[in-house]
Amino acid sequence: MPAGSQNAYIYSDDQGRTKTRGAFANPNNYLAVPANFNEAQANAFAADIASSGMVDGLRKMYAAFKQGGEQDLQRHPKWGIPKEFATPAFVGSASYHLGSVTGRAGLPPVLSEIGGGAANMLNGYVEQPVRRLLGRKSTEIDTTGPRFLSQQANFARGHSDATAVRKPAWLTNDFGLGSQGQAPPGTDRRRQEHR
């Protein structure tokens, strides 16, 4: 997705020296993730959600993906990010991760979109303005996407990639036939191919 990590600074060290904008450090706009993030962890979390039942699973999803939740790749100390800090370079991957876990858990995307959008809206229009009024550190929350989400394209791609993985083998496996296509009805494929 255009933007994402392209607009963020990517640092060469933990002191913030030699800042390089993502457009130069990441010219292909790959999704940037925390160094200790891995797909196996994401799959395990999605499996836990899938086995929790709809209500408990949605509650766990909300707690984990809300701003500062343990699955928030932009903010949580679990990912090596100091408390009260956000990492803009991880915005795209955080959205992709939410979509991927939603898909792998077998949840329809609209549930995460509504839940995430509502949390984003409350955070952007209530919590952050109150923090500014009190003179506390605040962040800008992007609510420009559908249902008040940001990075909608990355969320959608994460969900579609995950649901493609979840399809039964008989739907995705061509069983060695490659792109041969379907023989016309009533035609014996073996005879047609040997002509």
Determine the pLDDT at residue 37: 94
Amino acid at the residue 107: L
pLDDT at 179 over 60: no
8 Å CB contact between 107 and 49: yes
Report the DSSP beta bridge partners of residue 21: 9
What average pLDDT does the structure give for the chain?
A: 79
Which helix (H) or strand (E) covers residue 112, if one does? Answer: helix 109-122
Determine the pLDDT at residue 167: 57
Determine the Cα–Cα distance for residues 36 and 150; give it in Å rounded to an integer: 24
Mean pLDDT value of segment 86-97: 85
8 Å CB contact between 73 and 88: no
Mean pLDDT value of segment 79-104: 87
Mean pLDDT value of segment 26-36: 84
Cα separation of the two ends of the chain:
47
Determine the pLDDT at residue 173: 44
Q: Which has more confidence, 29 or 2? A: 29
What are φ and ψ of residue 26, in 5° steps? -135, 65
Determine the Cα–Cα distance for residues 108 and 114; give it in Å rounded to an integer: 11
Categorize the per-residue pLDDT at 166 as very low, low, confident or very high, splitting at 50, 70 and 90.
low
Question: What's the pTM value of the predicted model, to 2 decimals?
Answer: 0.72
Categorize the per-residue pLDDT at 72 as very low, low, confident or very high, splitting at 50, 70 and 90.
very high
Q: Which has more confidence, 14 or 94? A: 94
pLDDT at 47 over 70: yes
Give all strands (DSSP E) within 2-156, no chain letters: 9-10, 20-21
Map tokens 């949840």 to a residue.
107
Q: How many residues does the chain have?
A: 195
Neighbours of 5 (CB within 10 A): 25
8 Å CB contact between 95 and 152: yes
Determine the pLDDT at residue 184: 44
pLDDT at 109 over 50: yes
| Paired tokens of 157 | 């791609």
Which of 72-76, 128-132, 162-166 shows the lowest mean pLDDT across its residues?
A: 162-166
